[in-house]
A and B are shown apart, each in its own frame.
Chain A
Amino acid sequence: MSKIHITTTVNGDPAEFLASPGMTLLDALRDELGLTGAKEGCGSGDCGACSVMLDGRLVCSCLVLAPEVEGCRVETIEGMAQGGQLHPLQQKFLEHAALQCGFCTPGLLVAAKALLDAHPDPTEVEARYWLAGNLCRCTGYDKIIRAVMDAAADLRQERTA
């Protein structure tokens, strides 16, 4: 099978891999690059567990073909903590116990970060709509929303400090 050589940037670092033309970005991240943070919950765009940033846009990596990311910027959950320092969203997810099994967590964190980067001061309703494409079977969402709102408040304070 003729594979395509893909050159891209993942979490700020150049990355190269070989992909068959029908391979998804999700499979490429997990199987070719060993980045297993993004999960496959559904493979059909419904659950958001595979969320990554592609050229600054939140997308489901299960609905992107690997060859499409040639020359693009990909950001995954693995790039969220800086050094050993958790991102405030990650910290708040722990503090608020916003996860149980954790399967949805990488996707939710990536999606929540995209929200706060675009809208630093969302209302709770805005946050819930923004995250409506991320399903969680365990938490009932309330703790997730509380963690996101709390992190948003902290980040705003950090910015003005």
Chain B
Amino acid sequence: MPELAYLAPSSPEEAARALASAGSRPLSGGTDLLVQLRAGRVKPDVIVDLKKIAGAVGVREENGGFVIGAATSGAVLGEHAGLVRAWPGIVEGANLIGSTQVQGRASLGGNLCNGSPAADGVPALIAARATCVIVGPNGRREVPVESIVTGPGKTSLVQGEFVLEFRLPARPARASDAYLRLIPRTEMDIAVAGVGVNLVLDAGGVVTHAHVAIGAVAPTALLVASAGAALVGGKLDDARLAAMEAAVRAACKPISDKRGTAEYRTKIAGVLSRRAALIAYDRAGA
């Protein structure tokens, strides 16, 4: 076995340099990476722990919006009252990941970059129109969350790049979000389908902005622009909800496996989108 090295850089630039070699891998909470390492599915020769980098762990407010360090654990996100108030859907997606033990470690950066189509933290981030700040050998770039994962286990990050943080837009009054998933039991399972919905309302309860993202029903999580558009311009009446559901189902390209057939996943994605929209609407204070 080739020798493994462990590095814990304290600056983003140092981390990017450490990640420049082909056999290197970033480490956040390790709840995916350690499992893969131990199963022999990945064989890095350098592990670069991101948790000592200032900014990679923790939540802060900047220009009226929240910035989430990519390696921040789910437990920390769940304890951040301001973030929970502004983005309850993002936090509930992150907090659905695994057990209490897993929550002590699992991060949104790892959830995204692991590239699972069923990653629970991702749809609500996409619906929030969150961006990733990526640090790499050529400096920094900021891209939408949905541009990172290109297929199961695959990302658009190049050697040396990692996600430093997620940036969330400033939140107007009367705005909220929700994430729902379906699993075959009540805890500790992988989503059959997951939906994040993010809404902004005007004073009269009319939806002015809506974004819908779906997970576990295609090779990557998807932003369904037509589903969001179906909700804009009125209150959440039946016709709008039905149009959104139809748009969600049309966007699904699921596989059939032991957790559900393609037909079931498609049907469920629609049902979850309706329920999540109603929860987000309610939370937004309509």
Contact = CB atoms under 8 A, between A and B. Distances in A.
Partners in one complex: yes
Interface of A: 1-2, 4, 20-22, 24, 43-46, 48, 51, 54, 57-60, 62-65, 67-68, 70, 111, 114-115, 129-134
A21 B6 contact: yes
Given A63-B105, A70-B8, 10 more contacts: A1-B3, A21-B47, A44-B39, A48-B101, A59-B104, A59-B105, A62-B34, A63-B31, A64-B105, A132-B187
Contacts of B188: 46, 132-133
Interface in B74-127: 75, 98-102, 104-105
A1 B2 CA distance: 10
Contacts of B38: 24, 43-44, 62
A20 B4 contact: yes
B35 A45 contact: yes
B104 A45 contact: no
B30 interface: yes
Given A65-B47, A133-B188, A59 B35 contact: no
Nearest to A135: B188
B239 interface: no
A2 B4 CA distance: 9
B30 A64 contact: yes
B6 A44 contact: no
A68 B49 CA distance: 8
B27 interface: yes
29 contacts: A21-B47, A22-B4, A22-B37, A22-B47, A24-B34, A43-B38, A45-B98, A45-B101, A46-B188, A48-B99, A48-B101, A54-B104, A57-B75, A58-B104, A60-B101, A60-B102, A62-B38, A63-B29, A63-B34, A63-B102, A64-B105, A67-B8, A114-B100, A115-B100, A130-B100, A131-B100, A132-B99, A132-B187, A133-B98
Nearest to B187: A132
Contacts of A20: 4
Nearest to A60: B101
B23 to A, nearest CB: 13
Nearest to A1: B3
Given A45-B35, A132-B187, A21 B30 contact: no
A45 B49 contact: no
Contacts of B39: 44
A45 B102 contact: yes
B4 A58 contact: no
A61 to B, nearest CB: 9
B5 interface: yes
Contacts of A24: 34, 38
B73 interface: yes
Interface string B42-83: 000001010100000000000000000000010100000000
Contacts of B51: 68
B109 to A, nearest CB: 16
Contact of A65 (B3, B34, B35, B100): B34
A77 B75 CA distance: 22
A127 B100 CA distance: 11
A160 B69 CA distance: 39
A134 B104 CA distance: 14
A26 to B, nearest CB: 10
Contacts of B102: 45, 60, 63, 133
A22 B105 CA distance: 18
Contacts of A1: 3
A111 to B, nearest CB: 7
Contact of A45 (B3, B31, B47): B31
Nearest to A43: B38
Report, nearest first, the 4 A-B pairs whose CB atoms are least far apart.
A133-B99, A57-B104, A21-B6, A132-B187
Interface in B136-169: none
B98 A4 contact: no
Contacts of B8: 67-68, 70
B95 to A, nearest CB: 11
A68 B104 CA distance: 14
B100 A133 contact: yes
